[in-house]
Amino acid sequence: MASYTTIRKITSDLHKSLRQTFDDADISFGQVAHWVQFFVNKFQSLKIQTFDSGLYLSIYTNIPILTATTSTNPNLINGRKYISLPSATHDLDNDGGIKYISYTDFDDSCHPSFAGVRFTRTSTTKAKRLYYNPYEKPSPSNPYYYRVRDYVYLLGIENISVRYLELGLYTIFDPFSETSLDVPLYLDEGLLADVYKNVFELGRFVMLIPSEVINEGADSSNPQTSLKQRVIGINSESPVQQQEE
């Protein structure tokens, strides 16, 4: 198996560096892991949109097809077939976080599911037109899908018995859902320096905020001397620092 940096290694290195740089740094290991998550997902998304690489692809098999038995707001419609995405995906143009959805067209087929019947992506506004063209109309051999939040609705297989699907997804990096901190961090090794730099700069920015403006949740004020008017207008916006690449 190829060797990749682990979540534990990059987070530990960054946590140690921040604590060495700022003697009184009160930044937890979990906070650093959260920042790592931000930038790993940012760079993964950029790579996926630039390169057709299997490094970021996750394949899920035997995803059950469900049929809603009642309408439940929002997003569940009675009688429609759908699947629930097994993991969060990158939000890319044209639902590009879903690489493919497929099923084997007959039981004795010798080819893998992803080489069988593939679903084509559509949307709730575009699907209507498909039914007026005999060459595009949804059918078991020409099925479609459209996404609504974490539900993926299926068109064309309403009257056949397909129970499971195979999915290829570009899933997001979430260190808090992993069962082990020693699982590989699937990211181009050439981008690790960029992740390190961005997380370190974010930690440095946080540590440079004067302590007197940090709300620690302790109320030591005297009610008799409380302010009688607003210091900041209710429509004022707080400053947001945007990370530049």
pLDDT of amino acid 50: 92
What's the pLDDT tens digit per position in 167-197?
999 999 988 887 678 888 888 888 999 999 9
Domain ranges in the chain?
A: 54-170
What's the pLDDT tens digit per position in 93-123?
999 999 999 998 765 556 677 778 999 999 9
Q: How confident is the model at residue 222 (pLDDT cuts 50, 70, 90)?
A: low
Q: Give the distance from CA 234 to its chain's centroid.
A: 33
Residue 131 has pLDDT above 50, yes or no: yes
Nearest alpha carbon to residue 119 among 88, 71, 76, 82: 82
pLDDT of amino acid 218: 58
What pTM did the predictor assign?
0.79
